[in-house]
Amino acid sequence: MSEWKARRFWKAASVAPEGGGWQILLDGRPIRTPGKLALVMPNRALAEAIAGEWDAQAEVIDPNAMPLTRAANSAVEKVTPQFAAVADMLAGYGGTDLLSYRASGPAALAERQAAGWDPLIDWAARALKAPLRITEGVMPVAQDAGALARLRDRLDALTPWQLTALHDLVTLPGSLILGLAVLERRLDADTAHALSRIDETFQAEQWGRDDEAETAAAARLEGMRAAARLLDLLAG
């Protein structure tokens, strides 16, 4: 028995103002979230980009080709009603941030980590007022409570839509600092992704590439690019 797949049922997608925001229309009818909530974008730029995702669908709908639509659904259904919980979860990455944990060897890997990560640790201390401690190995290092509180406060200043974008920029690389660096335009998504893979890249150079790991890394990169694009669209 063949798997059922959703098929395109509309001719054209468009946008229209709605309640101080913008909605996407399929043949004049507004789309809703999977939970049947109104899907209203905060600006026209994002609405038009999402309408473009719908217009680009062929006969069989490919949800994987609609990252902005998925993000919008998450912003409305999950992040907005659970903002504090989502912010708490993301802030938790600061306590175990990837950039704080360095290799004890070989020296070439430790040097590469320091070259890539130290500037961001310095940036977090200076720009975010959140100095993070660095350690070698995998044993947990206790971070300064004040620094972690300031990182958490930074998340409270975001809109639910920005927090939705930040979610993937933090969870995919495993670093709150990398995510905030993209949010603050300190890094682009590709650079943040490359920095998160310093260990993997080094090991691949020593022992050869692993196809499964490379496929997973490529998927993470696409997710981070989509999140960064969402931030750009939110900015206007």
Q: At what angle do helices 189-196 and 198-207 cross, to 10 degrees?
A: 60
SS3 annotation, 161-202 = HHHHHHHHHHHCCCCHHHHHHHHCCCCCHHHHHHHHCHHHHH
The whole-model pTM stands at 0.94
Summarised one tens digit per residue, pLDDT across range 31-70 is 999 999 999 999 999 999 999 999 999 989 899 999 999 9
Record: fold of 13-66 = ATP12-like (3.30.2180)
pLDDT digits (tens, 9 = 90+) for 103-148: 999 999 999 999 999 999 999 999 999 999 999 988 899 999 999 9
Q: Can 13-66 and 83-234 be said to share one CATH topology? A: no
**83-234 has which fold?**
ATP12-like fold (1.10.3580)
Q: Where are the domains of the chain?
A: 13-66, 83-234
Per-residue model confidence (pLDDT) at position 4: 53
In this predicted model, which residue has the larger pLDDT, 140 or 86?
Answer: 86
Residue 225: pLDDT band with limits 50, 70, 90 = very high
Model pLDDT, residue 137: 85
Within 13 A of 113's CA, how many CA atoms are on the CB side?
A: 21
